[in-house]
A and B are shown apart, each in its own frame.
Chain A
Amino acid sequence: MKRRTFTKLTAGLSLAASLFGTSALAQDNMRIALVVKALGIGFFEAAAEGAQEAADELGGVEVIYTGPTDTTAEGQIEVINALIAQNVDAIAVSANDTDALVPALKRAMQRGITVISWDSGVAEEGRQMHLNPSSNALIGNMIIKLAADHLPEGGDVAVLSATTTSTNQNIWIEEMTKVMGDYPGINVVSTVYGDDLADKSYREAQGLMQSFPDLDAIIAPTSVGIVAAAQAVADAGKIGEVNVTGLGLPSEMAGAIESGASQSFAIWNPIDLGYSATMIAHALASGAATAEPGAEISIGRVGTITLDDTNAAAMADPFVYDASNIEQFKSIF
């Protein structure tokens, strides 16, 4: 009995809230909350910067950058509850837990708040859409493109992966193999596994340079491997002969870019990610777009995304870092 009254009450409240929400929209700034895993992390500070950029571009949008002080789901639930109480227009969250946030986010959606997840997703019922930084196909293409771009006349490249059973790396390498036809003259001569251990990756990279004296590039789609390979190339005195590339973090790769062991590498750009999340949240909250499978949503300067069957979408190619922008990003993440 009691419960029923409560349900009625919440239903009534949410109706009122959504009415209030729409009426508020007409007069005030649209308020979009960017909820991150924890405050004080460089990656998310950069995402907030991107969100602000989107807000300035759109106009009439206020970005609320918030999150717990440590990376816990409980902390995020509190933050989300507070945002519901403030009746923001949209919540874009990078979740600390896939399932734990769902009840709180459902409550937000019942109040008419647009809810999307980005970077680290929540379960389908807890959000309207999810924005992945990239997709396996895009990453697979990017890692071979990075090597090919510096080899206009073709050449031999080798892959230094994590473990033989690493799901992500195996999928990326598979996707890479599919698009090899687009890069004539580039031969993948070997795939070796450094097990994500610095010493083993270093030895494997040394082994590659010995086995293939004409090797032109090492592709390491793993952050431990790419750093170790760059060090091995530098120690072997092969800077300029062997280009190390793949996926890595700017803070970890700054030394390799500086020494020239790596010409360029890729990883998501947090600024673009915050920018796109804000753009999507705005489009959904303003009614310019609806979150349904197959829907296309414009994300400003980054392009357009297409939602898949689970209402998830990939933002773009991984972002390329090289000598021109490493200084800016190495302190970010």
Chain B
Amino acid sequence: MMKRLITSREALLVGAIALLLALISSRFPAFIAPANLVNVFNDTSPLILLAIGQMIVILTKCIDLSVAANLALTGMVVSMINVAVPGLPILFILVIAVGLGTLLGMVNGILVWKLAIPPIVVTLGTMTIFRGMIFLISDGKWVNSHEMSPAFKAFPRTELLGLPVLSWIAITAVILFTVVMTRTTLGRAFYAAGGNPHAATYAGINVGKTQFWAFTISGALAGLAGYLWVSRFAVAYVDIAGGFELDVVAACVIGGVSIMGGIGTVVGALLGALFLGIIKNALPVVDISPFWQLAISGGAIIVAVALNAQANRKKGRIILKQAEQAT
């Protein structure tokens, strides 16, 4: 059973990624050079972080549209803190980023849990509120690279064993959440709450509370990604990561996470994010008219989702052998 799942979904995606890389290398061979693939993985790391959080939220039959706004707000706050107190160690910056992100995620969680407002409405609202708050605290001004301290900008770029810290954070998150999702009570509760909420309730799982924790985790990861984002691009302003929430949801859906809840894995989210990341990084070098790029990104998403839907479709039981042969 377990084996069949792996052969169907994740393996299919790995195959699709390999095919994609082969196609790209036929037009631009340097793309699959190891150094470039490391770059692509590094560039995709924020998307991987957010996709893991989003996957957990989607597992519980919810959706978090505020992740990109959360990322932008946290990024702006930590960069403003960095400008005000340049000497603050990066460890504190990380704690503040994760802490603030968690808090923002909890706001979503509380509204969904205690007030039972549909998650898409809640996060659509908080998305706008977070963006508005960035404008309020920054006055619409940018925080620029020369205002940020060198240590603040250097952290995600620092190389450890040949990989930048940014990539290591994504790898750590993948391992950590694979363990959480498969080996802890909370992890299994996410699947139960989304797979069959009624059964989960009878089994003693508080569905609302589980959803609250899903939003909290998603917020924490968005906050962490917020710091990494502003320090990597060395700029913070109101519109950073505009529209990124859609990429995150797309990465999850491509990765085989069922939008109906209950189905999905961390590895799936990782592969979905990588698939999108490769497309985003390849389009600039394969010399395709920019007018076609959006259409190609969109087409790839639809194809991947269609394949997934085929793979996920429950096979009906054949009742009439003759009728089945007739069609």
Contacts and interface: CB of A to CB of B under 8 A. Distances in A.
Contacts of A227: 144-145, 234-235
Contact of B144 (A190, A192, A208, A251): A251
B285 A202 contact: no
A164 B284 contact: no
A252 B287 contact: no
B290 A199 contact: no
A164 B290 contact: yes
Contacts, number: 70
Interface residues of A, number: 28
A198 B233 contact: yes
Interface stretch (A111-119, A129-137, A254-262): A254-262
Contact of B284 (A192, A251, A252, A253): A192
A253 B142 CA distance: 11
Nearest to A252: B144
Contact of B39 (A190, A206, A231, A252): A206
A256 B234 CA distance: 10
Interface string A177-216: 0000000000000101100011110111011101100000
A210 B30 contact: yes
A235 B157 contact: yes
B295 to A, nearest CB: 12
Contacts of A231: 145, 233-235
Nearest to A228: B233
Given A206-B39, A210-B36, A255 B284 contact: no
Given A164-B290, A228-B233, A231-B233, A203 B281 contact: yes
A330 B291 contact: no
A206 B287 CA distance: 13
Contacts of A258: 146
Interface string B266-299: 0000000000000011011101001100000000
Contacts of A252: 142, 144, 235
B241 A199 contact: yes
A256 B284 contact: no
B285 A211 contact: yes
A330 B146 contact: yes
Contacts of B229: 199
Q: What does DSSP make chain A's interface, helix, strand, loop or mixed?
A: helix
B144 A254 contact: yes
Interface in B1-50: 28, 30-31, 36, 39, 43
Given A198-B235, A199-B233, A255 B144 contact: yes
Interface in B53-83: none
Given A198-B240, A251-B142, A255-B144, A203 B36 contact: no
Contact of A193 (B144, B243, B244, B290): B290
B290 A192 contact: yes
B242 interface: yes
Given A254-B146, A258-B146, A207 B233 contact: no
Nearest to B229: A199
Contact of A256 (B31, B145, B243, B244): B145
Contacts of A228: 233, 235
B310 to A, nearest CB: 31
Given A198-B240, A227-B145, A252-B144, A210 B233 contact: no
A253 B144 CA distance: 8
A210 B285 contact: yes
A178 to B, nearest CB: 21
Nearest to B280: A203
A135 B139 CA distance: 29
Contact of A211 (B39, B146, B240, B284): B284
Interface string A239-275: 0000000000001111110100000000000000000
Contacts of B36: 210
B247 to A, nearest CB: 10
A198 B71 CA distance: 14
A21 B36 CA distance: 71
A251 B142 CA distance: 9
Interface in B119-177: 142, 144-147, 157
Contacts of B43: 203
A210 B28 CA distance: 9
A73 B290 CA distance: 39
Nearest to A196: B239
Contacts of B39: 206
Contacts of B144: 227, 251-255
A126 B157 CA distance: 54
Given A210-B30, A231-B145, A330-B146, A202 B233 contact: yes
A204 B36 CA distance: 14
Nearest to B247: A199
Interface in B219-249: 229, 233-235, 239-244
Nearest to A207: B284
- Max chain A Cβ within 10 angstroms of own Cβ: one of B145, B239, B280, B291: B145
A201 to B, nearest CB: 9
A235 to B, nearest CB: 7
A94 B36 CA distance: 49
A197 B284 contact: no
Contacts of B281: 203, 206-207
Given A198-B240, A204-B284, 18 more contacts: A164-B290, A199-B229, A199-B241, A200-B280, A206-B39, A207-B283, A210-B28, A210-B36, A211-B284, A211-B287, A228-B233, A231-B233, A251-B144, A252-B142, A255-B144, A255-B146, A255-B147, A255-B234
17 contacts: A164-B291, A192-B284, A197-B243, A198-B240, A199-B233, A199-B244, A207-B281, A207-B284, A210-B28, A210-B30, A210-B31, A211-B28, A227-B145, A231-B145, A254-B145, A254-B146, A255-B145
Interface of A: 164, 190, 192-193, 197-200, 202-204, 206-208, 210-211, 227-228, 231, 235, 251-256, 258, 330
Q: In the A-B complex, list the 6 residue pairs whose CB atoms are closest, starting with the nearest.
A: A207-B284, A255-B145, A255-B146, A254-B146, A207-B285, A198-B233
